[in-house]
Structure 1
């Protein structure tokens, strides 16, 4: 069996849910529930699909479309499903919490304390928008695991927003 990249490769995971196009994978990762644990651009999705296809983990078929270019639809092979299962055997590494927001706060205090309040207000608005988006996705989701992941994402966003709302005034008067 070929090596799978990371834990688990998001393309294999998405294809385990059903056949789809590279465009739809990108949309799921950029705007959907997958945006909370995966980053991918067209520049990374299509090379991954090509490599996974070359390794026999993914199949690609072309579907004709009227008045549009043909589209490529990808599906998981039995070997791909085995590779996905193999990637799930071991526990994932701990989450990495890297935050441009926290770096901006840290440096804003040294450079421009007045900027901190607007950074916090903007982040509260961001968390509120994320909560709304996840709640919309949750309303359309029937799968138990997907619902759990979405609810987890909502809880994390709510906790971060609550912390900022309750502690954001720490910097007032700095």
Structure 2
């Protein structure tokens, strides 16, 4: 999704600074959906403001630069509704873990077990985080999205646990391995 739409969506939840918007995508409610960097957020906010879709007010802070707080205008709300009516791009799922599993036959069985353990730990932590976090706004649609995320992570955990022996059997004996790829994974 275009960063302009992401910013409009963040501001549909309420007024926010660029930093607060970034935090939504970094470790907040939007962290599960998309990435947006400071390098893309601030130019988008400037352009949206120039186009009349946002207003920007400077709030003074003691001993710090003014905090710019952005708000949606009526034109911005209309632009966000228009963006939501457009066709949705297919989701892209990328996984270093799955890439490494392709080469499990080139890794010692112990390494396959290690990356499997690490992935399961990561997924369980993610599942617990999803279950524990409150979503803003707290609406039936946001509750459904939270439930979807919890279900997806739980399904991944169940699949890996149910297929653990099969996955580990892909590994090779230490002397028969060509190399140990994917050292950075896990």
Instruction: Normalising by structure 2, report the TM-score.
Output: 0.81
Q: Secondary structure at the match of 2:69?
A: strand
Q: Is the 8 A contact 2:29 2:135 kept in 1?
A: no
- 1:18 corresponds to: 14
Corresponding residue for residue 157 of structure 2: 161
Indicate the residue corresponding to 2:106 in structure 1: 111
Q: 1:69 to 1:152 in 2, by over 3 A?
A: same
* Aligned match for 1:50, one of 46, 49, 60: 46
Instruction: Give 3-state SS (helix, strand or coil) of 1:71's partner.
Output: strand
Once the 2 structures are TM-superposed, how far is the Cα of residue 75 of structure 1 from its aligned partner? 0.9
Q: Return the alpha-carbon distance in structure 2 between the equivalents of residues 159 and 45 of structure 1.
A: 33
Establish whether residue 6 from structure 1 lines up as the match of residue 2 from structure 2. yes
Q: TM-score, normalised by structure 1?
A: 0.87
Quote the Cα distance in structure 2 between the aligned partners of 1:77 and 1:117.
Answer: 53
Count of residues in correspondence between the two structures: 169
Superposed CA offset, 1:71-106 (max 9, x none): 010111111111110111134122222222211221
| Residues 7 and 88 in structure 1, CA contact (< 8 A), matched pair in contact too | no
- Once residues 69 and 53 of structure 1 are traced to their aligned partners in structure 2, the CA distance between those partners, rounded to angstroms, is 20
- Residue 7 (structure 1) shift: 8.9
**CA offset at residue 66 of structure 1?**
2.2
9-18 vs 136-145, greater mean Cα deviation: 136-145
Q: 1:169 Cα shift?
A: 1.9
State the Cα RMSD in Å.
Answer: 2.1
Report the 3-state secondary structure (helix = DSSP H, G, I; strand = E; otherwise coil) of the residue aligned with 2:34: coil
Mark the structure with the bigger radius of gyration: 2
Runs ≥4 residues deviating over 4 A = none
Distance in 1 separating the partners of 2:96 and 2:4: 25
Match of 1:87 among 83, 89, 102: 83
- Shift in Å, 1:33: 2.2
List alignment gaps of at least 5 residues for structure 2.
172-186
1:98 and 2:94 equivalent? yes
